[in-house]
Chain A
Amino acid sequence: QSALTQPRSVSGSPGQSVTISCTGTSSDVGDYNYVSWYQQHPGKAPKLMIYDVSKRPSGVPDRFSGSKSGNTASLTISGLQAEDETDYYCCSYAGSYTWVFGGGTKLTVL
């Protein structure tokens, strides 16, 4: 149950696009399409932004998109806005009714 690997930080200017990677193994990300992404502002509960690799819950802007290739999932945020600056976490089902999260990525909007 090792954590998924995310970059500690990424940055981009307003209006640009950024991509956050999430690397796991063939036992989690690579084996299941149950990858989700969460946005967490300081002191707040995580908010679901992407589920099932690429699906967006109602109310999440279409600037947020997800994808997966092999053992690596990605979250892309296009048209960066100041309000997007916060922490992002990926999560994958890992089989046997267990889940694993990534270590988190801090997004800075320059």
Chain B
Amino acid sequence: EVQLVESGGGLVQPGGSLRLSCAASGFTFSDYWMHWVRQAPGKGLVWVSRINSDGSSTSYADFVKGRFTISRDNAKNTLYLQMNSLRAEDTAVYYCARDRFYTQDYWGQGTLVTVSS
């Protein structure tokens, strides 16, 4: 059974940093691209970032370029999202999702990031 478990969310001040993790199990993690998608409270889903299977290629939504970094450790079956220079508008539930041929097919339960002073 595919399982994705996010962690690392919490309360952070504007301008601060946070690193999210996504532990994967139930599939061969190193074979799949992975995504981060976020959802602000009461709002819709927004794609944030993608990384290919070996970590050599990454892509980002314009609103996080230069501030967020996606990475992965295939030996630990873990996906990461390093978030710097956080803003109030980054407040959201952050989901990791597995990619299967350009579709996010399995999702974790999400971790809440709150940016507030």
Contacts and interface: CB of A to CB of B under 8 A. Distances in A.
Contact of A102 (B37, B44, B61): B44
A104 B45 contact: yes
A45 B5 CA distance: 11
A3 B61 CA distance: 12
A3 B59 contact: no
Interface extent on A, as a size class? Answer: 20 to 34
Interface extent on B, as a size class? Answer: 20 to 34
B27 to A, nearest CB: 15
A91 interface: yes
Interface in A8-47: 32, 34, 36, 38, 40, 44-47
Interface in A57-110: 57, 89, 91, 93, 96-104
Given A96-B59, A98-B47, A101-B46, 10 more contacts: A3-B46, A34-B103, A44-B109, A45-B95, A52-B103, A91-B104, A98-B59, A100-B47, A102-B44, A104-B45
